[in-house]
Amino acid sequence: MTRNGLTFNSRKALMNNIGEAAGTEIANLIAEMAAEIEELRRSKVNVTRIVPTSPSERMQSTQGVL
């Protein structure tokens, strides 16, 4: 199980340095972003390129067509 967000010590240091309200807001934002990143990693789809991307690949593919 992965844990999203900051450790207690990190949250406490953040709140002590920038204030409780701002520290809590930033810590919650980081936790939400970590959860979103984890969700994106879980739902990631591998993409296979069909169209050549480099100019040399395009030249090779068009020479076979002509």
Tens of pLDDT, residue by residue over 11-66, are 999 999 999 999 999 999 999 999 999 999 999 877 777 776 777 666 665 565 55
- CA gyration radius for the chain? 23
The pLDDT of residue 39: 92
The pLDDT of residue 62: 59
The pLDDT of residue 23: 93
Nearest CA to 27 among 47, 46, 49, 4? 4
The pLDDT of residue 29: 94
- Can you tell me the distance from the alpha carbon of 15 to that of 24, in angstroms, rounded to the nearest whole number? 7
The pLDDT of residue 1: 39
The pLDDT of residue 32: 94
Q: Per this entry, what is the length of the chain?
A: 66
Cβ neighbours of 45 (radius 10 Å): 4
